[in-house]
Amino acid sequence: MKFHHFIHRREWTLALLAVLMIVAQVYLDLRVPEYMEHITVTISTPGSQLADVMEHGWLMLAAAAGSMVAAIITGFCTALFGTTVARRMRAGVFDKTFDMSSAEVNSIGTDSLITRSTNDVTQVQMFIVMGLQMSVKAPIMAVWASSKIASESVTWTIPTAVAVGLTLLVLGIAMALAIPRMMRMQKITDGLNRVTREHLTGLRVIRAYLTQSFHRKRFEAVNMDLRNTTLFVNTTMAFIMPMLTAIMTGLSLSIYVLGAVLINDTPDVNQRITLFGQMVVFSTYALLVVTSFMMMTVVFIMGPRALVAWRRIREVLRTEPSITSGSVTSGSATAGTVEFRNVSFRYPSADGDALHELSFMASPGETVALIGSTGSGKSSVVNLIPRFYDVREGAVLVDGVDVREWNLEELRNRIAYVPQKNTLFSGSIASNIALGENGRAMSAQDVVSAATAASVAEFVGGKEDGYASVVAQNGKNFSGGQKQRISMARALARGGEILIFDDSFSALDYKTERDIRQALKTAAAGATVLVVAQRIGTVRDADRILVLDKGRIVGNGTHETLMATNEVYQDIARSQLSDEELAS
Ligand SMILES: Nc1ncnc2c1ncn2[C@@H]1O[C@H](COP(=O)(O)OP(=O)(O)OP(=O)(O)O)[C@@H](O)[C@H]1O
């Protein structure tokens, strides 16, 4: 992705118009001193009238007004250009995150992704709006005004050249000091975002564990770092303006001193008046030259930061998703078949495998449960089916086709997945249930049926607005169990050949869990159901139970067979069931 991809034909037209307006502006700005020269000479000439002065006075006013209009049009063009490009960049980063797998998102970092699509894009936008204008205007003005100066007088050119030299020296030193720090600012902002986000999302734990001082220290460190860096940059910048003002004042003074000497040495009155007029116009040109160099500072200050920002945005846009869609759109075995063939899997950042040589099969109409201690790899197994990650060795097959060969949309449309961490979006209960309509229109009746099966109807009944009740961001106005039920209703409403429940029953009371499992038998009849659970009660009715231990399948059978033969399963059962339950 190159920068110019964000600039379409309309923006090129805007840029061209802006350049033309800048040229017009510089031309008119440079005309003003000429009219001033005429006016000065007219005023100094004995016997001149107001009408003579106004003859050039009107022209001078017209030039100033024209320059103003040109500046406004330039400002409008660059603002439209900058904001449009910024909008496209934000959309680019946003769209890219859809293609990224968890591995890529984790490698860049969520906080950095947020900074990149907000702060970084703003840096680029500011540079386009301000910097581009300056970078076009300053050189045109400098060259044009310099050529005017050179044609006027050599004597006065010397102090101007000295002033330009000094200006460049001041700007050079300031930039050499400030730019490296400015480059760091984006990284520090990432850090500040990370710490602030963690602090805000973990407020309750921080309060409960009284870790305010620890978190304050962590925040203070990055906050101070940002303050110090900004302070250094701003202090350096604070030197620039007074020094440049001193240079400009010195330049005006030198021009007037030299002018006084020249005028003094000229005996002829008319020549003296001409010389005086030239001096006035020259001092204005000289100031315009110095001003152009000052404008260039803006470019040099904003440019490097905008460049770093753009590189960070480009890094996101150029990220090659490790999970890319295949081309297969239909299966070769019975719809709903899931097969793991000798699967080993490793997380991108991990040293060792999380899953080792797993093989099993789940068929339509069958409920297969996965049980095991925490960290045994249950979620990792089910995450491989919708291809959130790819296997390291072996293959996962859905409907007889390797998931890597499936068209991703087709594959995911066959699956209804309830993640371990429930995700609700701001909206209503109905909008959250009807989220994945799976290519077909979902009726209000579909929502209600799914909600009834997942026992959502139970608590919606007590709400004034029913299914239209508001769901706040992250569903924080619902309890853990309610969120789980809405997430399950979403999966049931979507339907699919394969239903995956990753620890979806853990926050439910036993009665609600039993009701839902009962309702599932009808709601998900014919589908392949994979249930990840910690509780024996959740899995005991499953057609088959896979027992996982340290990423390996150490048991595969019904509750009864496992109770009779599998030591790991027996241990789990003994820790959860009473003697009577074990005996039954
Ligand atoms: N994103 C990740 N990056 C690196 N390692 C991970 C990641 N997610 C999980 N793991 C590791 O993989 C192993 C299996 O984790 P997994 O979440 O599949 O276990 P689980 O059986 O579902 O556990 P739980 O019941 O606690 O949810 C664990 O050792 C865990 O530390």
- pLDDT tens digits for range 105-147: 888 888 889 889 998 999 999 999 888 888 888 888 888 888 8
Verify that 123 and 48 share a domain, yes or no: yes
Tell how far the Cα of 364 is from the centroid of ligand 1, in angstroms. 27
Verify that 48 and 192 share a domain, yes or no: yes
Q: Is the pLDDT of residue 580 over 70?
A: no
Question: Which domain-ending residue is among 432, 460, 495?
Answer: 495
Residue 183 in any domain: the answer is yes
Proportion of the chain above pLDDT 70, given as a percent: 98
Positive or negative, the CA dihedral 369, 373, 377, 382 is: positive
Verify that 75 and 153 share a domain, yes or no: yes
Residue 122 in any domain: the answer is yes
| Residue whose CA lies nearest to ligand 1 atom number 2 | 347
Verify that 192 and 252 share a domain, yes or no: yes
- Mean pLDDT across 232-257: 88
Q: Does the C-beta of 379 come closer than 6 Å to ligand 1?
A: yes
Q: Does the C-beta of 504 come closer than 6 Å to ligand 1?
A: no
Alpha-carbon span 560 to 448, nearest angstrom: 36
User: Sorting pLDDT into bands at 50, 70 and 90, what band is 229?
Assistant: very high
Verify that 401 and 432 share a domain, yes or no: no
- pLDDT tens digits for range 392-434: 999 999 999 999 999 998 999 899 999 988 889 999 998 898 8
Instruction: Provide the pLDDT for residue 581.
Output: 63
Residue 66 in any domain: the answer is yes
Q: Which of 244, 274, 288 is nearest to 28 (CA)?
A: 288
Question: Which domain-ending residue is among 264, 288, 318?
Answer: 318
User: Sorting pLDDT into bands at 50, 70 and 90, what band is 224?
Assistant: very high
Q: Does the C-beta of 383 come closer than 6 Å to ligand 1?
A: no
- pLDDT tens digits for range 144-180: 888 887 776 777 788 888 888 898 898 888 888 888 8
Verify that 167 and 58 share a domain, yes or no: yes
Q: Which of 293, 68, 256 is nearest to 165 (CA)?
A: 293
Verify that 118 and 28 share a domain, yes or no: yes
Instruction: Provide the pLDDT for residue 133.
Output: 85
- pLDDT tens digits for range 484-542: 889 999 998 887 889 999 988 887 888 888 888 888 888 888 899 999 998 888 888 89
Domain of residue 571, CATH code: 3.40.50.300
Question: What is the pLDDT of the chain when averaged over all its residues?
Answer: 88
Verify that 72 and 205 share a domain, yes or no: yes
Residue 328 in any domain: the answer is no
Q: Which of 358, 390, 366, 348 is nearest to 549 (CA)?
A: 358
Verify that 260 and 348 share a domain, yes or no: no
Residue 477 domain boundaries: 422-495
Tell how far the Cα of 349 is from the centroid of ligand 1, in angstroms. 12
Verify that 349 and 300 share a domain, yes or no: no
Alpha-carbon span 371 to 570, nearest angstrom: 12
Q: Residue 394: in which H helix or E strand, if any? A: strand 393-398
- pLDDT tens digits for range 253-303: 998 898 899 888 888 888 888 888 888 888 888 888 888 887 887 787 788
Residue 324 in any domain: the answer is no
Residue 370 CA, closest ligand 1 atom number: 21
Query: Which alpha helices (H) appear in 116-211, and where do they start and end?
Result: 121-126, 132-152, 154-201, 203-208
Q: Is the pLDDT of residue 209 over 70?
A: yes
Work out how many domains the chain is built from and give that number. Answer: 3
Verify that 50 and 196 share a domain, yes or no: yes
Tell how far the Cα of 354 is from the centroid of ligand 1, in angstroms. 7
Proportion of the chain above pLDDT 90, given as a percent: 36
Domain of residue 273, CATH code: 1.20.1560.10
Residue 326 in any domain: the answer is no
Helix (H, G, I), strand (E, B) or coil at 531: strand
Verify that 480 and 510 share a domain, yes or no: no
